[in-house]
Structure 1
Amino acid sequence: MVSSIGLAVILAAILYVCATETHNETHKCEDILVHDKPHKKHIVSKGLNRPYQLAFDKHEHRIFFSHNIGSDNEDEFEIGYIEKNQMLPKTVASVINGFAIAVDNNDDVIYYGGSEGIYKENLKGMEAVNDTKKVHEVVKGHNIWDMFYKHALYFITYPTQHLYKLTSKNEIERQKHVHEEIYQFAIDGHDDTFITNETGLFLIKNETKERILYKGPKVFRAIEINNKGTAYFSGKNGIYVANKTHHALDLVVKVKNIFGLAFDNDDNIIYSNPHAIVKLLPGKCD
């Protein structure tokens, strides 16, 4: 996991200083446009401290996330999750400084990344009280920055910001075709790759090495692929979707201070702000 000093430095470079949180956002009902259609905010959980790395369990409808449990001056991250129709989070045990999360919804497996490696757990039969015996270590000695799952687990290490792949034999392979130091990585439904680095967002088309710079925002906190295979990005002033025709980002939702991003089974957007996890549901406020 990232040290408190290291995390502060790198987050200062790629994240945004949070403006004073408008707590009214979590209490008042207000319409918000998603793809130009009215939606209402449903508060999934609140009272959190910078929930990152949202991930959705499509079978049990759990929302996983990492959040800071340290003081305002020191970052100490922990992985938690919220059960369907509940607001109080539960804690995933045995992951020191848990920061990164990736879900394999086909095989009902979740991966947790922390300061000492990567851990794996079967989502089926997860008990209300986390059973540490069900969490198995699969990668040792790597400080995990971010993870993504498609057919295999990909992960980014800190502080090198290098991309690796976990093979079926639990061996790790450096992904040398992504030679840059990167912050996020994702593969969309066309098997095209998106990466972010200090200069912005790039597309690497399937079976090519050419980098295509995307027009629009340059700094992001998350990339997420929806159920249709479309890539979405959380930027400084909203959530964007990849426009592959013009190699640009189109604004989908105008909302500030987003930390994490995910989609439920119906492709409703789930996002987190500095203190809450919110789901956007179709329809106008009552």
Structure 2
Amino acid sequence: MKLVIILSAIIIVLVKYNETKQASKTKCETILVNGKNHKRVVMSNGINRPYQLSVSKRNHTIYFSYNTGFDNTSTFEIGYIKKEHRVAIPISGVKNGFATAIDEKNNIVYFGGSDGIYMDDISKSGNITHLINNHNIWDLFYKDDLYFITYPSRKLYKYLGENKSEIQKSIYEKIYQFAIDGDEDTFITNKTGLYIIKNGTNDRILYEGAKVFRTIEINNKGVAHFCGQNEIFVANKHKHTLHKIADVKDIFGLGFDHEDNIIYSNPHEIVKLLPENCK
């Protein structure tokens, strides 16, 4: 009888220990960003390959493209999620919507699709205007002006207004991504990797390290962030190397909220990373 009681007590202790250990593990299941713990806050899930994130800081709204076809096909549309609303809302009228960008100052969001670029004044949501046609849009970037990359040519253009644009002859190569950071330095990616073009020059400087990227995004401080398939990097401009700040499995898109917290997407979720005190 005593043996039974002792064994029961041991089992209870072990169960409690495992429960405590599991709870601790769950509580402290975080992602390191710059060596600091950050908890994952899922903002939306059940989305098929959300990509090309653009965050309206003023309206706390995330715009993105996503696949509406099957996993082995690609038919893209534009959608968005509002603050504290997990369900994605589709935006109609943009054919094969694939790219997004935001003019934060003027509260305007741009959408790119297979028949050109559209504009939506966020303060008058739903009033979508077709800005430019005859271009299949691969990527969009906004800083002072709207830039876009076409497909399949992968050439860079600048929007001039009134359905007009001009090719950017200084970017003569076929590119995948384009961005201008807070120092007015330009970053481009092509099939050979990531390059910086310093402000006031036309020289390409190749960055060592990763060669394939899914997006380049600029945070609120003007710092460029680069997404590989499973990592987030920032640039060391003195050594022309990439510094990894986080490991994130199968990352698709990247953005930043009004407090510069990272927002990223994976094949089925949009997630925010928040600092977490975890011991």
AA at the equivalent of 2:98? F
Partner of 2:47: 48
Bigger shift: residues 96-105 or 70-79? 70-79
Secondary structure of 1:161's aligned partner: coil
DSSP 3-state at the match of 1:124:
helix
Identity over aligned pairs, percent? 55
The alignment status of 1:235 with 2:235, answered yes or no, reads no
Q: Which has the higher helix share?
A: 2
TM-score (norm 1): 0.86
- Output the CA distance in 1 between the equivalents of 2:118 and 2:54: 15
Which residue number in structure 2 is paired with residue 194 of structure 1?
Answer: 187
Post-superposition Cα deviations, 1:189-216, rounded to whole Å, max 9, x if no partner, equal 0100000000000000111110000011
How many residues of Structure 1 are paired with residues of Structure 2 in the alignment? Answer: 253
Question: Quick one: distance in 2 between partners of 1:91 and 1:69?
Answer: 10
Q: Following the alignment from structure 2 to structure 1, what is the Cα–Cα distance between the partners of residues 101 and 123? A: 16
1:151 maps to which of 132, 144, 153: 144
Query: 2: CA distance between counterparts of 1:222 and 1:252?
Result: 15
Q: How far, CA to CA, are the matches of 2:73 and 2:161 in structure 1?
A: 37
Cα distance in 2 between the residues matched to 1:275 and 1:151 = 32
The CA deviation string for residues 84-117 of structure 1, in whole angstroms up to 9 with x for no partner, is 0110011111001000000000000111000000
Consecutive unaligned residues in structure 1, runs of 5 or more: 1-27
Unaligned residue ranges in structure 2 (runs of 5+): 1-25
- Give the distance between the partners of 1:167 and 1:50, measured in 2 at CA: 32
Question: Aligned in 2, Cα 1:237/1:158: closer, same or farther, shift over 3 Å?
Answer: same
- Secondary structure of 2:123's match? coil
SS at 2:124's partner residue? Answer: coil
Aligned with residue 205 of structure 2, among 212, 220, 227: 212
Contact 2:133 2:163 (8 Å CA) reproduced: no
Residues 156-210 of structure 1 show CA distances to partners (whole Å, capped at 9, x for unaligned) of: 0000000000024542010010000000000000100000000000000111110
1:81 corresponds to which residue?
80
Q: Distance in 1 between matches of 2:278 and 2:137?
A: 40
In 1, the alpha carbon distance for the partners of 2:69 and 2:272 equals: 26
Of structures 1 and 2, the one scoring higher in RCO (CA 8 A, sep 6+) is: 1
Computing the radius of gyration from Cα coordinates, the structure with the larger value is: 2
Aligned partners of 2:234 and 2:101: how far apart in 1? 21
What are the equivalent positions in structure 2 for 1:1-286 lying under 5 Å apart?
Answer: 30-126=29-125, 131=126, 134-284=127-277
Cα contact 1:40–1:285 (8 A) shared by 2: no
**Regions of 4+ moved over 4 Å:** none
What is the rounded CA distance, in whole Å, between the counterparts of 2:162 and 2:68 in structure 1?
A: 34
Alpha-carbon distance, 1:58 to partner: 1.0
Amino acid in structure 2 at the alignment position of 1:176 = K
Shift of 1:257: 0.6
1:191–1:230 distance in 2 versus 1, CA, 3 Å: same
Q: 1:72, CA displacement in angstroms?
A: 2.5
Letter in 2 for 1:59: R
1: distance between equivalents of 2:123 and 2:180? 26
